[in-house]
Structure formats: structure tokens, C-alpha cells
């Protein structure tokens, strides 16, 4: 009797340990190319190794879309962003590189815009469909400095 209780205790302890494990399964996602848009519809406004800002002139029906900057099939930056244009012809997205990652000059990246987060897609598939796909070569870019008038002029 005592060994049966001990066996049940060991099984219960193993089950609790398994359920509270910090390991998360994260299978590799395949980011399928979506509609390619001409370069004039997406522009890099500012770019540094830690942050990139896009001006996007693509019109979406939904108010928020998931934006990813991919290095191959690996996200460097990602998140939900509003696609509202606020009366203009474009919207802007400022994305920060994930912790421990950086944008590298001369390297080719993809901006993938989708309807769901990769985590939501992962529940049923490892295939993520980009609705819009934009390929670009990263180069640092800063906005031009505004010239201020000379004093006394």
C-alpha cells in the first residue's frame, strides 16, 4: 500500500514538473511570400541597427496588421501596427529590433505584412502567409537635417 502511494506521489510530482516547465515549443515558421508591391509603395524613412521606420502606401481593409522584418525565415522585428492613414495617403510603422538582434548594413531583409501573429498561426500550422511582401537591402538612413535660418538675417 505504501509503495502504491509513493508511486502515485512520484507520478503526480513528475506531472506537475512537466506542466510547469519553462520550455516552449517553437517550430520554425515558413513565411510565404505575398503580393509584391512596387518600391514606390513602401519607403524606408529612417534606419539604424536597432530601429527602422517605413512609410507604407498600401491600403488594407483591416485597421491593424501584423508587421515583421525577416532575415530569411527569422523575425528581427515584429508587432501589431495600425494601418489607418488619418486622411493621408500612407501610414508609418516604426519597428525596433528584438532583444539581441540588429539590422546589418548591406543585408537583405523582407517586410512581411500579415493578418495574424505567428504565435496564433502556430497553433494550427507552421506556414505564415504574408499578404504584402517587400524585399529591401538595409542601409542606415537618417532624415535630412532641417536648415535653420541664420540669426540676425
* Calpha distance 59→19 (Å, rounded): 44
Is 151 contained in some domain?
Answer: no
What's the whole-number mean pLDDT along residues 76-95?
92
Q: What's the pLDDT tens digit per position in 119-131?
A: 999 999 999 999 9
User: Is a pLDDT exceeding 50 seen at residue 24?
Assistant: no
Confidence of residue 103 (pLDDT cuts 50, 70, 90): very high
Query: Which pLDDT score, from 0 to 100, does residue 131 have?
Result: 95
Among 45, 50, 71, 48, residue whose Cα is nearest residue 135:
71
What's the whole-number mean pLDDT along residues 99-117?
96
User: Is a pLDDT exceeding 70 seen at residue 41?
Assistant: yes
CATH of the domain at 52: 2.60.40.10
- Give me the domain span that covers residue 89: 33-137
Is 124 contained in some domain?
Answer: yes
pTM over 0.85: no
Confidence of residue 113 (pLDDT cuts 50, 70, 90): very high
Query: Which pLDDT score, from 0 to 100, does residue 141 have?
Result: 84
What total number of domains does the chain contain? 1
Amino acid at each position: 500500500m505504501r509503495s502504491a502511494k509513493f508511486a502515485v506521489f512520484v507520478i503526480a510530482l513528475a506531472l506537475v514538473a512537466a506542466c510547469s516547465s519553462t520550455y516552449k515549443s517553437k517550430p520554425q515558421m515558413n513565411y510565404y511570400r505575398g503580393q509584391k508591391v512596387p518600391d514606390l509603395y513602401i519607403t524606408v524613412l529612417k534606419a539604424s541597427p536597432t530601429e527602422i521606420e517605413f512609410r507604407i502606401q498600401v491600403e488594407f481593409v483591416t485597421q491593424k496588421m501584423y508587421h515583421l522584418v525577416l532575415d530569411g525565415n527569422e523575425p528581427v522585428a515584429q508587432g501589431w501596427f495600425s494601418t489607418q492613414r488619418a486622411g493621408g495617403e500612407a501610414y508609418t510603422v516604426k519597428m525596433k529590433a528584438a532583444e539581441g538582434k540588429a539590422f546589418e548594413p548591406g543585408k537583405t531583409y523582407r517586410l512581411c505584412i500579415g493578418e495574424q501573429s505567428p504565435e496564433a498561426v502556430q497553433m494550427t500550422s507552421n506556414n505564415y502567409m504574408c499578404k504584402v511582401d517587400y524585399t529591401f537591402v538595409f542601409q542606415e538612413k537618417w532624415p535630412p537635417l532641417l536648415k535653420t535660418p541664420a540669426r540676425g538675417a
